[in-house]
Chains A and B, each alone.
Chain A
């Protein structure tokens, strides 16, 4: 009955909004949400029984919100747990939400419920916002603290979170003041086992269209997540390939590097894909140009027009780009006299360092006399 009631509230909320979540309070419900990975057009809710690892309640339900097509769009769990320290406990009741990629989506308190700090003083608007910001930071240093070092060694035991007990100054910047245990507990719930449960549930539901939707997210975490899971699918439609190759021209060095690293080898069997990758050579950061060459070099058969393009550009290449370009051409030289001739012509380059590199390279190509 409680589950049904909650579903009703959630559905009401999701239908009542567009794809944009915001920090809004509806009458007696307190809720804070980030931008979701996917538009939250909820058509159905699926209950997944999960193992909590707890003793009193070993099993609990993870609610999976679904589109009309049956793809997951987000998850939530109704948390009812005690925040305890030094023998005192108080109940924390909150619904935590995750995106399909396991990224924190938001939190919502049950109707009439509120969070409190020391002396049971309720959170104010600013403190809810601060909590929300901390929960959205997957790299928060709070993840490096353990329960015991949240307070200085010498402070006397005085009770729960709660509390007037002073917070360790190392921890203070990463928690809501006066609510250190609530912050700590909620952050660890968001990034603990439940996050992995969410990811597993999404992985089980992956299909090409769904993965493409995640790749289209503006959030970099979501993109990494989807890129890392392309290997789980055997079918990669053209739209997905184009989206992924498009990342190579992104301003984020890490995204470009990650994309180059996870590009499936079989995509290179298609010469039109090779052409797209070669075009990206001119928009990746200079430091990653050798990586594009190296990728092209892994393909069983490189498109001849690309080989000729690379050869044309050899005289202007230096250092690791030149090394990678030569390696890329290496296997084709014995059967490509035109390319071989052009590489050999570099022995007359006015830079003796290049000449040395070319000489060494030609000696290492075994089938050339």
Chain B
């Protein structure tokens, strides 16, 4: 009895030793256990960027149960987090070619910011940016999140897929996030990662160029007066610094352009790749280091001693990584001739816009030409119940340099989701969906479907 009582006392003493004294208002939280759960959904969209948001809203509005997984903290991808808040071109040769949900969101953000749309009836000539719609990035992020919530999309931020396996008539996707590990079972999977990451995890091959287009960290600088600058001297000093190796050749091709545009879309970060945490970390560090290096150098020059960084995005925006090995690859010839396919699901209109170490010289389409995206370019070869939307569309490099632009990605997002919805309803895979059904669904939801 004495022994028992002694042990009990020891237990009480030991509990007293491990339990901290709680101050008023404090509660004790035990060690966190990874929250594992399993979810089921009709359609799963991976990637809440330009294409993914549109895809999720389309699926939600078509009445499907939908989950959207995004590894960042807000929606919009390149448009918002990347800061490239001028989402390409929606009008070609006086007519709207990309409409639907993407345009609805853009238009709403424009109206809420009291912005004015460019006059699309005036030809843009060689200045295609005259038809770009400038957005307020943070406002756009709120607009699109609201649209997703309104469409019943189950949003899951801070999550990324780590495994994609076939499961019955669909997929089981394992994601990890902050304190979570989730198995999501879905019938249809839409990869909107921009890097075909989910497609790759599902076991399909991807294509990549030996040298990809550079990325860009978007930022804004100020604190100087352009008309007070001795631009020739600045150019000479800048070029000399590049020659000495103090600055990296190609990061800012023209210092005059950097200063005139106050930093807007002027930087090139070679090899920028957003596919994995490791590659994106490198892209971000390189982007910021480039700006930091250049900022410190410019502040030593006359007229620029007060130069300041006024704003900077959280990450380096990426132009090109992987493309899917699709049933059909859109070629440069298809793009510039404005080929319309029997299974064209959306238009794309932009100059061939390949950025390289020498900069970019956009090659404009001939008058009246508007390219299109066939459904087959969105479907990985040999896959079932899997479709992509966005810059990883099956295409050759030159075609991709135009297809990658956000407006085109929005069109693809809506089309991919509509195909997935019909495939889910009809018990088919997206490649088997009848074009007449797909066109009808897309048109009902305001999208513009190519006719030829």
- A residues near B (Cβ < 8 Å) are 139, 146, 148-149, 152-154, 220, 251-255, 257, 285-287, 289, 316, 318-321, 350-354, 356
**A residues in contact with B121, CB < 8 Å:** 220, 252-255
**Quick check: B63 and A285 within 8 Å, CB to CB?**
no
**B residues in contact with A254, CB < 8 Å:** 117, 119-121
**A residues in contact with B427, CB < 8 Å:** none
**Quick check: B446 and A153 within 8 Å, CB to CB?**
no
Closest B residue, CB atoms, query A356:
B152
**B residues in contact with A352, CB < 8 Å:** 63, 152
Closest B residue, CB atoms, query A322:
B61
A interface secondary structure, majority: helix
Residue B151, interface by CB 8 Å: yes
Residue B166, interface by CB 8 Å: no
**Quick check: A287 and B104 within 8 Å, CB to CB?**
yes
Tell me, in angstroms, the Cα distance from A353 to B63 when the chains sit together.
5
**A residues in contact with B130, CB < 8 Å:** 139
**B residues in contact with A316, CB < 8 Å:** 444
Tell me, in angstroms, the Cα distance from A251 to B91 when the chains sit together.
11
**B residues in contact with A356, CB < 8 Å:** 152
Of the A-B pairs whose beta carbons lie under 8 Å apart in the complex, a sample of 6, sorted by A's number, is A153-B231, A252-B94, A252-B120, A287-B100, A289-B446, A318-B445
Residue B6, interface by CB 8 Å: no
8 Å CB interface, B7-25 against A? none
Residue B350, interface by CB 8 Å: no
- B residues near A (Cβ < 8 Å) are 60-63, 91, 94-96, 99-101, 103-104, 107, 117, 119-122, 130, 151-152, 227, 230-232, 443-446, 448
**A residues in contact with B120, CB < 8 Å:** 252-254
Tell me, in angstroms, the Cα distance from A139 to B129 when the chains sit together.
13
Tell me, in angstroms, the Cα distance from A354 to B444 when the chains sit together.
13
**Quick check: B60 and A287 within 8 Å, CB to CB?**
no
Distance of A288 from chain B, by nearest CB (Å): 9
Known: A153-B231, A257-B117. A353 touches B60 (CB 8 A): yes
Tell me, in angstroms, the Cα distance from A92 to B95 when the chains sit together.
42
Distance of A353 from chain B, by nearest CB (Å): 5
Distance of B210 from chain A, by nearest CB (Å): 34
**Quick check: A149 and B232 within 8 Å, CB to CB?**
no
Known: A149-B227, A320-B104. A285 touches B61 (CB 8 A): no
**B residues in contact with A318, CB < 8 Å:** 61, 444-446
Known: A139-B122, A255-B121. A286 touches B94 (CB 8 A): no
**Quick check: B62 and A287 within 8 Å, CB to CB?**
no
**A residues in contact with B444, CB < 8 Å:** 316, 318
Tell me, in angstroms, the Cα distance from A356 to B119 when the chains sit together.
37
**B residues in contact with A286, CB < 8 Å:** 99-100, 443, 446, 448
Distance of B264 from chain A, by nearest CB (Å): 16
Q: Among B94, B96, B152, point to the contact of A353 (Cβ < 8 A).
A: B152
